Structure 1
Amino acid sequence: MTSTTSTWDAKKKRLDALKRPEQPFTICEDPEVRERRNRAKAAHQRATEVLADLPPEEEHRDLYEARVKETKTELAAAQKAFDAASVTLRFIALERQEYEDLVKKHPASEVEEAAGEDFALETFAPALISASSLDGMPVDYALHCLNTWSPADARGLWNAAWTIQHHQRTDLGKG
Structure 2
Amino acid sequence: MTTTRKTPSTTPPPAAVANDAHWAAKRERLLARTRPMLRLTICDDPDAKQAVSDAQNDEKQARYLADRRPDDKAAQDAHQAAEAKLAEAQSALDAVSIVLSFQALDRKTYRALLAAHRPTEEQAGEGYDFNVDTLGPIMIAASSLDGITEEDAATFLDTWSENEAQALLNTAFRVQREERMDLGKG
* TM-score normalized with structure 1 length: 0.89
CA distance in 2, matches of 1:149, 1:87: 15
CA pair 39-128 structure 1, distance change in 2 beyond 3 A = same
Render the CA deviation track for 1:42-93: whole Å, top value 9, x for unaligned: 32233224423x254x4xx211211111111211221122122111100111
Contact preservation (8 Å) 2:102, 2:145: yes
Indicate the residue corresponding to 2:116 in structure 1: 105
1:96 and 1:41 mapped to 2: Cα distance? 39
Q: Quote how far apart the aligned CAs of 1:5 are.
A: 7.0
Q: What does residue 88 of structure 1 align with?
A: 99
What is the rounded CA distance, in whole Å, between the counterparts of 2:106 and 2:153 in structure 1? 20
> How many residues get paired?
171
RMSD between superposed Cα atoms in Å: 1.7
- State yes or no: 1:74 paired with 2:85: yes
Distance 1:81 1:55 in 2: 31
Q: Which amino acid aligns with 2:61?
A: R
What does residue range 23-172 of structure 1 map to in structure 2 within 5 Å?
A: 23-52=38-67, 54=68, 56=70, 58=71, 61-172=72-183
Q: How far apart are the structure 2 equivalents of 1:104 and 1:24? A: 26
> Structure 2: 5+ residue runs without aligned partners?
1-13
The answer on whether the counterparts of 2:103 and 2:143 sit within 8 Å (CA) in structure 1 is: yes
Q: TM-score, normalised by structure 2?
A: 0.84
Which stretches in structure 1 are left out of the alignment for 5+ residues?
none
Identity of aligned residues (%): 36
